[in-house]
């Protein structure tokens, strides 16, 4: 596994702690109770299918919640990184300048042109345009340009960008693969190879709460 895949797996494993581990522990306990109970093999398969599907549904819900949290973390980090200084937020002239700067930045279609415009803005002391170019470059994936802007900003800006990158990495190809592995319930051998429909049919015939008292 590549270094970036290992990093993504570690992040996913951390995110998968807590509630996810509780679901796994509960499912493991239910399987043990079913297997040790006074049921026939066919009855056990029904109860195991019901337990597996219930656990898989809970894990899927946790993964959706995790994905939503990552999306929100990315959005919040970007907003914090590129928000204007407090002194500009209530200044109508600064607000209009920022709007014009965003319009100008959006016209840039090449990273080299973005770098040139950033350098021009910084040389002229035009913080609004520099910020707009950096955010446009960030969204376009021209991170070298964004990095040059961040080098001239307070350390907390770089911190926000690092938080964005961490959340983004968890949703990269490697991150999504790692998260899929973390948010996965192993199919018990008694129902191995069965389709979703077959397991649902078995679960519908289960007698009760996974064969419990």
pLDDT digits (tens, 9 = 90+) for 76-106: 999 999 999 888 877 899 899 999 999 999 9
Q: Six-digit token pair at 118?
A: 């950033």
- Long-range contacts, stretch 153-160, CB < 8 angstroms, 24+ apart: 156/80, 157/81, 160/77, 160/78, 160/80, 160/81
User: Given this model, what pLDDT does residue 40 score?
Assistant: 92
Q: Which residue reads 């899927």 in tokens?
A: 60
Whether 43 contacts 208, CB under 8 Å: no
Domain residue spans in the chain?
3-204
User: Measured on CA atoms in the order 108, 110, 114, 116, is the torsion positive or negative?
Assistant: negative
Q: Does residue 211 carry a pLDDT above 90?
A: no
Q: Which residue reads 């796994």 in tokens?
A: 24
Q: Six-digit token pair at 81?
A: 């990184």
User: Given this model, what pLDDT does residue 213 score?
Assistant: 41
pLDDT in tens, 49-64: 999 999 999 999 998 9
Whether 101 contacts 128, CB under 8 Å: yes
User: Given this model, what pLDDT does residue 11 score?
Assistant: 56
Distances in Å between the Cα of 13 and the Cα atoms of 21, 64, 142, 162, 177 are 10, 15, 29, 19, 12
**Claim: this prediction has a pTM higher than 0.85:** no
Whether 52 contacts 28, CB under 8 Å: no
User: Measured on CA atoms in the order 30, 32, 34, 36, is the torsion positive or negative?
Assistant: negative
Question: What pLDDT band is residue 70 in, cutting at 50, 70 and 90?
Answer: confident
Instruction: Give the residue from 147, 189, 188, 184 showing the smallest Cα distance to 165.
Output: 147
User: Given this model, what pLDDT does residue 16 score?
Assistant: 54
């Amino acid at each position: 596994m590549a270094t970036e895949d290992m990093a993504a797996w570690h992040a996913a494993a951390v995110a998968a702690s807590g509630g996810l581990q509780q679901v796994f522990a509960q499912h493991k306990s239910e399987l043990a109770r079913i297997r040790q109970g006074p049921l026939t093999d066919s009855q056990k398969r029904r109860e195991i299918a019901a337990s597996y599907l219930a656990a898989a549904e809970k894990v899927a819900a946790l993964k959706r919640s995790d994905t939503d949290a990552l999306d929100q973390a990315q959005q919040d980090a970007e907003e914090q990184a590129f928000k204007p200084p407090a002194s500009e937020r209530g200044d109508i002239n600064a607000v209009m300048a920022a709007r014009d700067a965003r319009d100008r930045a959006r016209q840039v279609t090449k990273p080299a042109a973005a770098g040139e415009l950033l350098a021009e803005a910084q040389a002229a002391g035009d913080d609004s345009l520099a910020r707009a170019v950096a955010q446009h470059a960030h969204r376009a994936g021209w991170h070298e340009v964004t990095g040059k802007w961040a080098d001239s900003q307070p350390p907390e800006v770089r911190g926000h960008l690092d938080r964005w990158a961490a959340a983004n990495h968890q949703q990269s190809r490697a991150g999504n693969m790692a998260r899929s592995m973390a948010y996965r319930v192993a199919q018990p051998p008694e129902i191995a190879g069965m389709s979703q429909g077959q397991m649902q049919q078995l679960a519908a015939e289960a007698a009760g709460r996974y064969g419990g008292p």
